[in-house]
Structure 1
Amino acid sequence: MGKRKHAKAVVKGAGKSAFPRATGDQLFTGLNDPALLEFLRTGSLPAVTVSVDQALANPAVFRCVDLVSSSIGMLPTYVMRKNGGALEKAEGHPLFDLLQFQPNSWQTAFEFKQLMQLRVLIHGNAYAVIVRTGSKITQFIPVDPCRVLVKQLPDLTVRYEITRDDGSIGYYAAQDVLHLRGLSVDGLTGVSRVQKAAETISIALQAGRAAERIFRNGMMVGGNLKHPGKLGEEGKKFLRDSLTEIHAGPENAGKWIITEEGMEAKPFANTAKDSQLIEARASLVEDIARVFGVPRPLLGMDDTSWGSGIEQLGILFVRYGLAPWFKAWEEALTRSCLSLVERRSFLFDFDETELLRGTLKDQAEFFAKALGAGGQRPWMEVNEVRESVGLGAHPDGAGLISAGENRNVAP
Structure 2
Amino acid sequence: MGLFDSFRRKKQDDSIQMAESISFNGQATTLGGALWGTDKNITEDEILEIPAVQSSLELITSSIAQLPIKLYKRNSMGDYEEVTDDYRSELLNKEANENITGYDFKKKITKDILLYGTSKTVIEKESKTSNTIRALYPLDTKDLMIQIYLQNGYKRFAKTILMSKAGTYEWADEELLSVLKSTDNGITGDGILNENYKLLKLATSQNEYQTKLMENGAMPTSVLEADSKMNDEQVMRLKRAWEELYNGAKNAGKTIILESGLKYKQASIDPDKLQLTEGKKDVISDIARAFNIPESMINSSANKYNSNEQNNLYFLQYTLSPLMVAIEASLTKSLLLESEKAEDYEFRFDPSALLKATTKEQTDSVNAKVKGGLMSNVQGKRALGIPVDPNEQEFYQYTTGQVLFDPKTHVILNPNTGMTIDSVTGEILQEGVRSSMGNVSHETTVNDKEPSEDVEDDK
Cα distance change of structure 1 residues 352 and 186 upon mapping to structure 2, 3 Å threshold: same
Is the CA contact 2:28–2:35 (under 8 Å) kept in the aligned structure 1? no
The 2-side partners of 1:92 and 1:403 are apart by: 38
Q: Is 1:141 the equivalent of 2:137?
A: yes
The 1-side partners of 2:181 and 2:35 are apart by: 29
Give the alignment's TM-score, normalised by structure 2. Answer: 0.64
Q: 1:379-390 counterparts in 2 under 5 A?
A: 379-390=374-385
Q: Is 1:53 the equivalent of 2:45?
A: yes
The 2-side partners of 1:95 and 1:340 are apart by: 15
Q: Which amino acid aligns with 2:46?
A: Q
Cα distance change of structure 1 residues 387 and 333 upon mapping to structure 2, 3 Å threshold: farther
Is the CA contact 2:26–2:41 (under 8 Å) kept in the aligned structure 1? no
1:30: how far off?
Answer: 5.4
1:324 to 322, 325, 344: 322
1:69 to 61, 85, 88: 61
Q: Which amino acid aligns with 1:171?
A: W
1:106: how far off?
Answer: 0.8
The 1-side partners of 2:356 and 2:84 are apart by: 24
1:296: how far off?
Answer: 0.7
1:43: how far off?
Answer: 6.5
The 1-side partners of 2:290 and 2:363 are apart by: 37
* Residue number in structure 2 paired with 1:310: 308
1:297: how far off?
Answer: 0.9
* Residue number in structure 2 paired with 1:214: 213
1:110: how far off?
Answer: 0.5
- Please state whether the residue corresponding to 2:357 is helix, strand or coil: coil
* Residue number in structure 2 paired with 1:100: 93
1:283: how far off?
Answer: 0.5
5+ residue gaps, structure 1: 1-28, 222-247, 250-267, 405-411
1:58: how far off?
Answer: 1.1
Q: Is 1:358 the equivalent of 2:357?
A: yes
- Please state whether the residue corresponding to 2:348 is helix, strand or coil: strand
1:178: how far off?
Answer: 0.9
The 1-side partners of 2:85 and 2:291 are apart by: 36
Q: Which amino acid aligns with 1:140?
A: L
The 1-side partners of 2:173 and 2:190 are apart by: 22
Q: Is 1:199 the equivalent of 2:195?
A: no
Cα distance change of structure 1 residues 34 and 185 upon mapping to structure 2, 3 Å threshold: farther
Is the CA contact 2:120–2:179 (under 8 Å) kept in the aligned structure 1? yes
Is the CA contact 2:148–2:159 (under 8 Å) kept in the aligned structure 1? yes
Higher helix share: 1
Structure 1, 295-304 or 43-52: larger mean CA deviation: 43-52
Q: Is 1:130 the equivalent of 2:123?
A: yes
Equivalenced residues, count = 325
Cα distance change of structure 1 residues 368 and 177 upon mapping to structure 2, 3 Å threshold: same
- Please state whether the residue corresponding to 1:333 is helix, strand or coil: helix
- Please state whether the residue corresponding to 2:172 is helix, strand or coil: strand
1:398: how far off?
Answer: 4.2
* Residue number in structure 2 paired with 1:340: 338
* Residue number in structure 1 paired with 2:183: 184
Which digits, 9 at most, give the CA deviation of each residue in 1:131-162, with x for residues without a partner?
A: 12211112111112232415355284634333
Higher strand share: 2
- Please state whether the residue corresponding to 1:37 is helix, strand or coil: strand
The 1-side partners of 2:37 and 2:74 are apart by: 52
Q: Which amino acid aligns with 2:44?
A: V
- Please state whether the residue corresponding to 2:27 is helix, strand or coil: helix
The 2-side partners of 1:329 and 1:397 are apart by: 42
1:400 to 391, 396, 416: 396
* Residue number in structure 2 paired with 1:235: none
Structure 1, 323-332 or 186-195: larger mean CA deviation: 186-195
Q: Is 1:170 the equivalent of 2:170?
A: yes
- Please state whether the residue corresponding to 1:50 is helix, strand or coil: coil
The 2-side partners of 1:305 and 1:192 are apart by: 26
Runs of 4+ in 1 over 4 A off after TM superposition: 40-48, 268-271, 390-395
Is the CA contact 2:29–2:35 (under 8 Å) kept in the aligned structure 1? no
* Residue number in structure 2 paired with 1:117: 110
Is the CA contact 2:181–2:189 (under 8 Å) kept in the aligned structure 1? yes
Is the CA contact 2:113–2:179 (under 8 Å) kept in the aligned structure 1? yes
* Residue number in structure 2 paired with 1:281: 280
How large is the Cα RMSD of the aligned pairs? Answer: 3.0
Is the CA contact 2:366–2:383 (under 8 Å) kept in the aligned structure 1? no
Cα distance change of structure 1 residues 206 and 131 upon mapping to structure 2, 3 Å threshold: same
1:273: how far off?
Answer: 1.5
- Please state whether the residue corresponding to 2:151 is helix, strand or coil: coil
Q: Which amino acid aligns with 1:290?
A: R
The 2-side partners of 1:76 and 1:209 are apart by: 40
The 2-side partners of 1:271 and 1:97 are apart by: 54
Cα distance change of structure 1 residues 369 and 139 upon mapping to structure 2, 3 Å threshold: same
1:70: how far off?
Answer: 0.9
Is the CA contact 1:200–1:288 (under 8 Å) kept in the aligned structure 2? yes
1:46: how far off?
Answer: 4.8
Cα distance change of structure 1 residues 179 and 304 upon mapping to structure 2, 3 Å threshold: closer
The 1-side partners of 2:290 and 2:81 are apart by: 36
The 1-side partners of 2:87 and 2:151 are apart by: 34
* Residue number in structure 2 paired with 1:26: none
Structure 1, 103-112 or 154-163: larger mean CA deviation: 154-163
* Residue number in structure 1 paired with 2:435: none
* Structure whose alpha-carbon radius of gyration is higher: 2
